[in-house]
Amino acid sequence: MTTGWQRHLARYHKLDVPAKFELERMDESGLREVASAVQNRLTVIRPEFSSLPKTVQPTVASIEAAKATFHEVSGQFAKARVKYLEKILPEAYAVVKNAARRLCGSQHEINGQVMTWDMVHFDVQLIGGIAIHRGMIAEMQTGEGKTLVATLPVYLNALTGLGVHVVTVNDYLAKRDSEWMGVLFRSLGLTVGCIQNDMSPGERRSAYAQDITYGTNSEFGFDYLRDNGMASTKDEQVQRGHYLAIIDEVDSILIDEARTPLIITGHAGNDSHQYDLYKPMVEQLVKKQTELCNQLASEAKRLMDAGDIAAAGVFLYKLKLGQPRNRRFMRFMEDPELRRL
């Protein structure tokens, strides 16, 4: 059933079509292949969106027109996705509970310890899972099975293929829950990843590519900052998008720790070679500027001595633009009459 639901929800994914300039470089066989792929996508989703073209010809114009029409209706995908998830919610939750029941008695190695699965969702936990899926806060006491309850909305929303982030308070819980609940998710055909502090960018990218990703709020936040502030290309980014996050200890993460900013710092690059390159040029420019301003000051003084105050004012204005803190200019400005020029 997981595969069938995933296949249905995949119709709401972004249409992956080469850019126009790439299409223009393709030969006839390449255009035919792209047109066929677009045609297949439109055929699947056309019953819901009748405005989509019925056929796509192997031409740049036809493919671009189909892409534009698809983009117009894509704004309705989120609403359609939510509607479908609500429709399958009872059956999906039943599938998760049944999988948990089937796992009872099985043993698995979790964080180096052999543990026996003995958990099956109670009815009240199913209600908690419904509340979380609908964006509510489910308040539960320690021991009431928060980790197990989260598997319900996590599974349901992971069917979209857009990725679900499960946010915990520390690396240990993230690793433990990803392995322990991962037993249930993998039995249902989903993939699970976990973000740890000491991971390389490649390992992080692989973890984010899974259907479900566990990690701490700080790791998710720092990866977002690195992707949007330090990565220079798309290939250097590790996160693939943001669809849904389910947060454990929500009061601690969104209220208490929210007051602590996430800041990325690093060593400045060694630019001494540029300094050595431009230093002589700047020194020469400053020297020329000083010589010119001194000439302007001397000419202004000569004109003032000759009684031509108006002409002297022009030179003083140029001197102000060139070196507003020139010593001779500052002395000139001590005269009230010259300040009024």
3 state SS of 215: strand
* Cβ proximity of 171 and 216 under 8 Å: yes
* Entry pTM: 0.76
Across the range 291-318, mean pLDDT stands at: 90
The predicted-structure confidence for 27-44, as pLDDT tens digits, reads as follows 999 999 999 999 999 999
Q: In order of start, what are the domains of the chain with their CATH numbers?
A: 2-77 (no CATH), 104-259 (3.40.50.300), 274-339 (no CATH)
The predicted-structure confidence for 176-228, as pLDDT tens digits, reads as follows 999 999 999 999 999 999 999 999 999 999 999 999 999 999 999 999 999 99
Burial of 90 (0-12, 13-18, 19+ CB in 10 A): exposed
Contacts of 206 (CB under 8 A, 6+ apart): 193
As given in the structure block, the two tokens for residue 103 are: 């796992």
User: What is the rounded CA–CA span in Å between residue 297 and residue 291?
Assistant: 10
The predicted-structure confidence for 236-282, as pLDDT tens digits, reads as follows 999 999 999 999 989 889 998 888 888 887 666 666 788 888 899 99
* Cβ proximity of 64 and 23 under 8 Å: yes
Residue 166 has pLDDT above 80, yes or no: yes
